[in-house]
Amino acid sequence: MLVVAILFVVFSCQCQGLAEQVPDTATTQNDPLEDKLASLLREQESTTASLLREQDDKWASLLREQDAKLADLTSLLQQQGQKLSDQERSHRQLEQKVSDQEDSLRHQDQKLSHQESLLQEQGARLSFQEALLLKQGRTIQQLKNRHVPPQSFPSKNLRHATNMSQPEPALPGKTSDSASHDVIPRSDDGGPLEAVVSHISQRVTEMGADINAFKTQTSGNIQTLQNSNTQQDLAIRDAQSSTFVHWGQFYVQQSISHRLLGRRGRLVV
């Protein structure tokens, strides 16, 4: 039993020695492979670090360029905003001018309506005066017919062909005897009736000239108002078209700025 125990101990020691020698041999054989792996790992880490640095430099340069473009775009938008503010101010001033012109046009329309009413009154007066003149002309013609010069009838020696039974009525400045004796002879200057007719004709001519001048002035005022109304319509259309163009430009600029800002946000992310 003792011999068996001794042999077992010796065998165990030999097995332990062999076990210790086997790892040493494997370690000795694997050292070059580990060195290669370590060298490859170091090279890979160096390459990766270099690539990362280059990528970081590229991203930093790209971000700086984007920041510069964004600054330029911000400055441009500020300038466009200032221009838009100036255009809005100009548009408000133009609207105020248009409003003033509309007020002036309404005032001119009121004046024109007043002038038209005056013209209608003048026309009514003219019609009344024309009717009065026609009536006066008929009266004068009747008076002329009543005071026809005497006609001679040699066969019967008659001096009057009409009004032989009744005497002529007395006229102003003449007595009844002279009026009943004979008709008033026509003088060289035309007599009082011709003077009245001449005065009435002169008055009608003067009134016609005044009415024609008033009509001409009214026509000129109407033409001036029509021209002013046309100019105001053109100014209103120009203002509306310029406002539409300005707002269209502003919308396009805002769309471009939003797109650029959206691209920058995606790059940063």
- 181 vs 141, higher pLDDT: 141
pLDDT, one tens digit per residue, over 56-86 is 999 999 999 999 999 999 999 999 999 999 9
- Rounded to 5 degrees, φ, ψ at 158 are -95, 140
Q: Is 154 helix (H, G, I), strand (E, B) or coil?
A: coil
DSSP 17-59: HHHHHHHHHHHHHHHHHHHHHHHHHHHHHHHHHHHHHHHHHHH
Give the distance, in angstroms, between the CA of residue 11 and the centroid of all CA atoms in the same chain.
117
CA torsion through residues 185, 187, 192, 197, sign:
positive
Q: What pLDDT does residue 44 have?
A: 87
User: Residue 224 pLDDT > 70, yes or no?
Assistant: yes
**Domain limits of the chain?**
52-147+190-269, 148-183
Q: What pLDDT does residue 245 have?
A: 64
Q: What pLDDT does residue 148 have?
A: 55
Q: Which CATH class is domain 52-147+190-269?
A: mainly alpha
Its pTM stands at 0.31
Percent of the chain with pLDDT over 90: 16
Beta-ladder partners of 158: 153
Q: What is the DSSP letter of 183?
A: P
User: Residue 267 pLDDT > 70, yes or no?
Assistant: no
